[in-house]
Amino acid sequence: MIEVKNLDFCYKKDKVILSQVAFDAIEGQCIAVLGNNGAGKSTLIKCLNHILEPQKGYIYVNGENVCDFKRNEIAKRMAYVAQHNTVDKFTVFDSVLLGRKPYIRLEPKQEDIEITESIIKRMGLESFALRYVDELSGGERQKVMLARALAQQPRVLLLDEPTSNLDLRNQYEVLATVQEIARQDNISVIIVIHDLNLALRYCDRFLFVKDSKIYTYGGPEVMTPGNISFVYEMPVAVETICGVSMVVPLPQN
């Protein structure tokens, strides 16, 4: 599990981005990080694996303080998939194999090859394995980035808007895959996401960020019209359609 205590971050002394952030996430669950643009959601997950260095606070993964680790050791515990990824001229196989980098000293071992092959098969990328990543569709590329992250064998998976720029079908396919990964691999998945309905469908807990702090955090019981309306500053209703909970924006006049 991951446990965050009293996390503070600011880019400048007079511009606080995160203040006294504290929460935990257990294995096998997906946590949605929600809030308006500029609330600090992406900054938060970058602080968790020390892409950004928080000024205060502690981050523990399975009881170990991430602050005590070097970058290579953090990468063995936490994997991060950015919102926008550079598409280099790599094959899918080589791109996924890069996820083994924290474990490789001079050259890949047979174990690294086998793990890469297993993940490519699991993600349904076998027919693309020797194609170049820049030749793939947006949904296929996102699956490759997820596969690379899984090759790190992390205990925590951090995703920054994994469904941005994906069509409707790929949005649901990617998040269904993420949910399955969390369950089967028993890892904590933390997702920055804007689509509240996707969050409701595929996430177990919901962390609302507002005014540099956590406004509320919990299970489906916190996804109320009152909480959502306050955080996003617009009226909404939460309805059940065909057995599925959905957030419906309401007219403001």
The verdict on 54 and 159 lying in the same domain is yes
Instruction: Judge whether 248 lies within some domain.
Output: no
The verdict on 41 and 159 lying in the same domain is yes
The verdict on 136 and 180 lying in the same domain is no
Instruction: Judge whether 55 lies within some domain.
Output: yes
Domain end, chosen from 105, 132, 153, is at: 153
The verdict on 168 and 73 lying in the same domain is yes
Domain end, chosen from 107, 123, 153, is at: 153
pLDDT (tens digit per residue) in 234-246: 999 999 999 999 9
Q: How many domains does the chain have?
A: 2
Domain end, chosen from 153, 171, 202, is at: 153
The verdict on 197 and 72 lying in the same domain is yes
The verdict on 17 and 61 lying in the same domain is yes
User: Model pTM?
Assistant: 0.93
The verdict on 160 and 65 lying in the same domain is yes
The verdict on 18 and 135 lying in the same domain is no
The verdict on 121 and 2 lying in the same domain is no
pLDDT (tens digit per residue) in 166-225: 889 889 988 999 999 999 999 999 999 999 999 999 999 999 999 999 999 999 999 999
The verdict on 73 and 161 lying in the same domain is yes
Instruction: Judge whether 135 lies within some domain.
Output: yes
The verdict on 144 and 174 lying in the same domain is no
Domain that holds residue 135: 88-153
What is the chain written as a DSSP string?
Answer: -EEEEEEEEEEETTEEEEEEEEEEE-TT-EEEEE--TTSSHHHHHHHHTTSS--SEEEEEETTEEGGGS-HHHHHTTEEEE-SS----S-BHHHHHHGGGGGG-SSS--HHHHHHHHHHHHHTT-GGGTTSBGGGS-HHHHHHHHHHHHHHT--SEEEEESTTTT--HHHHHHHHHHHHHHHHHHT-EEEEE-S-HHHHHHH-SEEEEEETTEEEEEESGGG--HHHHHHHHTS-EEEEEETTEEEEEE----
The verdict on 16 and 133 lying in the same domain is no
Residue-by-residue pLDDT tens, the chain, 253 positions: 899 999 999 987 778 899 999 999 999 999 999 999 989 999 999 999 999 999 999 999 999 999 888 999 999 999 999 877 766 789 999 999 999 999 998 899 999 999 999 999 988 899 999 999 989 888 888 889 999 999 999 999 999 999 887 889 889 988 999 999 999 999 999 999 999 999 999 999 999 999 999 999 999 999 999 999 999 999 999 999 999 999 999 987 6
